[in-house]
Amino acid sequence: MSVFAAKSCACGCHGKASCPAPEGPNHQGHSDNPTSQASSDDASARHEITILVVSGCVFALSMIFEARLDAALGPWAVRLAYAIPYLLCGVGIFREAIGEMRKGDFFNEFALMCIATVAAICLGELAEAVGVMLFYRIGEFFQERAAAGSRKSIASLLAAKPSMARLARDGQTCLVQVEDVAVGDIFEIRAGELVALDAQVISGESRIDQSPLTGESLPVRVTPGSAVLAGSINMSGVLLARATSRYIDSHMARILEMVEHAAERKSPTERFISRFARWYTPAVVALAVLVATLPPLILPGASFSAWIYRALILLIISCPCALLISIPLSYFGGIGAASRQGILVKGGNVFDALLQIDTVVFDKTGTLTEGRFAVVALYPAAGLDESALTSAAFIAERHSAHPIAQAIRRHGEELAMKDAEGEPQSLEHPGKGMEVRHDGARYLAGTKAFLQEMGVQPGDCPLPEQPGALVYVARDQQFLGLILAADRIRADARAAISELKSLGLSTFMLTGDHDKPAAWVAAECGIDGFKSGLLPEEKVMALKEIVVKSKNNTTTPEGEPDREAARIAFVGDGVNDAPILAIARVGIAMGGIGSAAAVEAADVVILNDSPAQAANLFKLANKVRVNVWENIALALGIKALVMALGIAGISGLWEAVFADVGVALLAVLNASRLMRK
């Protein structure tokens, strides 16, 4: 698969058609290398592993042969043997500690490690000083690798960013930066290439893989007139497409911007942990000073060396890295896990907000329903089958631009029906129906009154309970039956509402549609209540009324409902939903067909337009919260236990290393579980 992502060509052609170098992924500069950053990270990891392996081996040999070295060469040889791994692991930590102290942060974890190990050396505890430094360095390495793993799924989105387009001009193609393509420009998409911009296909047929954007594994068939999204992959064939937006306004660009800024929106729990660490570490350091000085002055027979050793244990334990690393990692892991499912969460704060929701309000058209007419039922006249009815309707409606006619045409195409030979004579009767003469026969499709006006008497047919548009069909003077066209409920809408209710959430629907179809959709999906016939501004007022009635409603000084206090989530897709998405505590936009305004206003974007993803989102928020509190309990619980044992003289520096580095690793591994779900 060739991927264009270079900013300019290495040969200086800047993507011109006359470029002397070969096109494709082997042309340096014309093809992006998304693994370059990964290669740099791998080189850094190999360097770190080398230091840790060498230090570990030298440390192990020093401990095994300590007595023999002392006997053969004296104490200086033992000190030299321990100094090698200590300096290999410690120089970088000392450098970091000095850098942080210059910034005014005297209680950083690097400084605590340095102070504790230097004090241990002064007390003659060489092996323990080296062990603390070595295992701290090992812990930092694994924490960084775990964090890198949690970023992988989001990084895969960034790697899918197209940056070159194959512009088609005067019968030739040339590579240009996507930012230089204007709306209306035509570009070529070859097999295996990324679609560079949001566009409409004007020539060619293929299948498009949209999984980098939506998580949907099945390719989508595209033909002339189909829309394609930037970042999706052309599976086969060559397409010519006309850009429908600039790259900066494209679907992919909006997604990347949201992903890149997601980590900046911290949750209340993350902010609390950061504030907690500011006083927690100084408090433990102060406690360590008291432990080192007061007991020897108060307790008879107590030695300064013994109590300083116990104080060192507190210094090592006081590092809050298990909390400062694992808690944000839990939220970041949740963001990554959601993105793998085609759900973009704009920040960790969204997960906490979701746990405060008690009512989920849905838009109807395009959210719970597919947003376009489709043939949902066929009612052939007595003695006829469905194929005869469908064939006649297809002939009558195939050249009409009416949405209902388009639904009948799509239904016929799904059944592999083709246009009849010859040029039919079509006459549209506005507001009534279509009259088509073809191959000596007259085909009619429209309202019941239209057929009666044309001299055809519709026979008795069972009328459907489902609301929708009824299309009566006739050939010559024979009534063939009727077709029900309606906006279909999405396949997973019922299951989504049921799942939300099982989580203890109420559901409501707001729609501009008429009362009868709204009532039918609400009943079919099992929604608790609805309001219909709403204009866009009336939708806003209706949601405000729901917010005002919520359990812990408060208002702003301007008298508006306080969004942060509301317990309402809204799921919508259209441009008229953007103000409502901004009012709700959590706004969830259907991003696949949703407007740019709705996507920008929302806190969450569902890329595959599936209502079931809303229920998955709430379940993921619960998992993130459980993971966060598991890490808090794990870190603080074990640290408190080892602190108490250290003050009592029961635990030593080795236990302190576990309470710091070991617990941090356990918390990070626990947070990483979210990425594997």
Q: How far is CA 634 from CA 79, 108, 631, 657, in A?
A: 36, 21, 5, 15
Q: Which of 473, 477, 482 is nearest to 456 (CA)?
A: 477
Q: Does residue 137 surpass a pLDDT of 70?
A: yes
Query: Where are the alpha helices (H) located in 341-447, listed in sequence order?
Result: 348-354, 386-397, 403-414
Burial bucket for residue 431 (CB in 10 Å: 0-12, 13-18, 19+)? exposed
> What's the pLDDT band for 417 if we cut at 50, 70, 90?
confident
User: How does residue 530 score in pLDDT terms, banded at 50, 70 and 90?
Assistant: very high
Q: In sequence order, what are the beta bridge partners of 436? A: 426, 443
Q: Both tokens of residue 134?
A: 């070595």
* Percent of the chain at pLDDT exceeding 90: 13
Q: How confident is the model at residue 6 (pLDDT cuts 50, 70, 90)?
A: very low
Residue 80: CB atoms within 10 Å? 12
**Per-residue pLDDT at 12 exceeds 50:** no
Backbone torsion region of residue 559, taken as left when φ is above 0, otherwise alpha when ψ lies between -120 and 50, otherwise beta: left
Please give the Cα distance from 177 to 186 (Å, whole number).
Answer: 14
Among 216-225, 407-416, 524-533, 549-558, the range with the most confident prediction by mean pLDDT is 524-533
Those residues with Cβ within 8 angstroms of residue 605's Cβ, 6 or more apart along the chain or in another chain: 255, 258, 343, 344, 346, 588, 589, 591, 594, 599
Calculate mean pLDDT across residues 129-158. 65
Please give the model's pTM, rounded to 2 decimal places: 0.64
Going along the chain from its start, the domains and CATH numbers come out as: 37-150 (no CATH), 284-323+622-676 (no CATH), 332-369+490-616 (3.40.50.1000), 371-489 (3.40.1110.10)
The burial class, CB within 10 Å (0-12 / 13-18 / 19+), for 433 is: buried
Is residue 170 flagged as an active site residue?
no
Q: How far apart are CA 579 and CA 598, in angstroms?
A: 8
Q: What is the mean pLDDT of the chain?
A: 77
Catalytic residue of the set 198, 363, 487, 577: 363
CB-count burial class (<10 Å; 0-12, 13-18, 19+) for 14: middle
What pLDDT digit, counting tens, does each position of 236-277 carry? 788 999 998 888 777 666 655 655 554 455 555 555 655 666
Asked if pLDDT for residue 165 goes beyond 50, the answer is yes
Q: How far is CA 175 from the centre of its chain?
A: 31
Taking the CA atoms of residue 185, residue 186, residue 191 and residue 196 in that order, the dihedral angle to the nearest 10 degrees is 10
**Nearby residues of 150 by Cβ (< 8 Å), 6 or more positions away:** 329, 332, 333, 336, 671, 672, 674, 675
- What pLDDT digit, counting tens, does each position of 309-331 carry? 888 777 777 666 666 667 777 88
